[in-house]
Amino acid sequence: MGFVVSAQVIVGQQPSTSIDVPEGAHSVLQARGEGVQVYSCNAAPSGQKWTLKGPDAKLLDSSGQVIGTHFAGPTWKLNDGGQVQGEAIGNKASPEAGAVPWLLLRAKPGTGTGSLAGVGYIRRTETHGGAAPGTGCDAASDAGKTVQIPYSATYTFYEAKKE
């Protein structure tokens, strides 16, 4: 589920270009995200700019059944109550034009609950669509406009290596 997860970065650090999961982490869940990336038009130093508000997507299992949702935070919440938030630590351009980047996110400490309590990392790959539009946020009169750009992505959740 390729949500343009706003790359919230720790001050003074830039996300890595690697989306490799740390050694020892193992996959515990894979889900397809299908929905939209929501952008708003806001003032920026160079004029108006589309800014990611967050994703609004369903999480689907391999048979296409809805198993949860993905929304701003970025947050993933499963139907069983499991939930986790992430922060981007790596990104790589999608091989598909107009698609949001592939990401590696670290679970924010203390946000994992239920079936996602042990998740240490989330990786977004196989993105389609979702990138901010190139136009429509050009004039001051565009301020406050929002757009929803369809996207999809694969989300893989990893449990960190136990020490």
Which tens digits make up the pLDDT trace of 66-92? Answer: 999 999 999 999 999 999 999 999 999
Q: pLDDT-based confidence at 160, cuts 50/70/90?
A: confident
Per residue in 27-45, pLDDT (tens digit) is 999 999 999 999 999 988 8
Structural domains in the chain (count):
1
Q: Do 122 and 155 form a contact (C-beta atoms < 8 A)?
A: yes
Residue 74 inside a domain? The answer is yes
Judged against a pLDDT cut of 60, whether residue 7 lies above it is answered with no
Q: How many CA atoms lie within 13 A of 82 on its CB side?
A: 14
* pLDDT > 90 fraction of the chain, expressed in percent and rounded: 79
Q: What is the pLDDT of residues 105-130, one digit of tens each?
A: 999 999 999 999 999 999 999 999 99
Q: Is residue 142 part of a domain?
A: yes
What is the CA 137 to chain-centroid distance, rounded? 22
Whether 5 is covered by a domain: the verdict is no
15 located within any domain: no
Do the domain assignments include residue 143? yes
Q: Measure the CA–CA gap between 135 and 12, rounded to whole angstroms.
A: 31
Single-letter amino acid, residue 116? L
Model pLDDT for residues 13-27, shown as the tens digit of each residue: 455 678 999 999 999
Strand 75-78 versus strand 102-107 pairing type: unpaired
Supply φ then ψ for residue 150, to 5 degrees. Answer: -60, 145
Sign of CA dihedral 84, 89, 94, 97: positive
Let me know if residue 76 belongs to a domain: yes
Would you call 163 exposed, middle or buried from its count of C-beta atoms within 10 A (0-12, 13-18, 19+)?
Answer: exposed
Q: Which domain holds residue 54?
A: 30-159
Q: Are 80 and 59 in contact (CB under 8 A)?
A: no
Which two structure tokens, joined as six digits, stand for 79? 């139907």
Domain membership flag for residue 19: no
Spatial distance between the Cα atoms of 130 and 132, rounded to a whole number of angstroms: 7
Tokens of 87: 């922060």
Cα–Cα distance for residue pair 139/141, rounded to 1 Å: 5
Query: Is residue 47 domain-resident?
Result: yes
